[in-house]
Amino acid sequence: VSIADDSEGHDLSLFCVPKHYEEDLDSVIIPSGLIKDRTERLARDIVRDMGGHHIVALCVLKGGYKFFADLMDFIKTLNQNSDKSVPLTVDFIRLKSYSNDQSTNSVKVIGGDELSALTGKDIVETGRTMETLLKLLNECHPKMVKVVSLLVKRTPRSSGYRPDYIGFEVPDKFLVGYALDYNEYFRDLSHICILSDRAKEKYKV
């Protein structure tokens, strides 16, 4: 699902947004209901494509935990209510590549065990973070690695990397909410929102 570069998003007054963030956001770009519906479809595509393969689902923390949890719930529901199911185990890894609102060249990796397949979440912006993780995973010689990303950002800084499954293609704006943060703030937003320039200064470290 592609969101146009000139999209202004939706007015905050149309949605439930925590009072303490109202002055920090420009607009809601992806409402929570749309996130859930798209995630359910991604889950169906993954179950269809994986066949009987055992999936080791790897969550990229911290920004990935909400998408990961919802994706796993949809996959579990499909496993319980259809003739076709996939064995599923989970693991977690933490990547850090941001300083304030800038993606850095340094990627820190913490955690993660042996993997045979990957579903996880990263805003694929420059692609460098995910490329670093894929190199690490391939050293474990998995049968296959598949990446599912809720968001892919259209940006001239991109390395050209594209995940196997994409929820939304989004404009080159700094997005927060649905577990995506700016210096640890805004993870508690249900919607994905565009961060205001004022908030970037307010919460800068």
pLDDT digit string (tens) for 84-99?
Answer: 788 888 888 876 654 5
- The token pair that represents 143 in the structure block: 């049968």
pLDDT digit string (tens) for 41-63?
Answer: 999 999 888 877 888 888 887 77
Distance CA 62, CA 45 (A): 24
What is the chain's mean pLDDT, rounded? 83
pLDDT value at position 121? 37
User: How confident is residue 107, by pLDDT bands cut at 50, 70 and 90?
Assistant: low
Is 153:137 a contact under the CB 8 Å cutoff? no
pLDDT value at position 116? 38
User: How confident is residue 142, by pLDDT bands cut at 50, 70 and 90?
Assistant: confident
Confidence (pTM):
0.82
Give the H/E segment covering residue 198.
helix 197-202
User: How confident is residue 190, by pLDDT bands cut at 50, 70 and 90?
Assistant: very high
- Determine the average pLDDT of the residues in 91-114: 58
Distance CA 5, CA 154 (A): 8
Give the H/E segment covering residue 92.
strand 88-99
- The token pair that represents 78 in the structure block: 């499909």
Which residues neighbour 20 within 8 Å (Cβ) at sequence distance 6 or greater?
none
- Among the residue ranges 41-55, 101-115, 129-143, the one predicted with the least confidence is 101-115
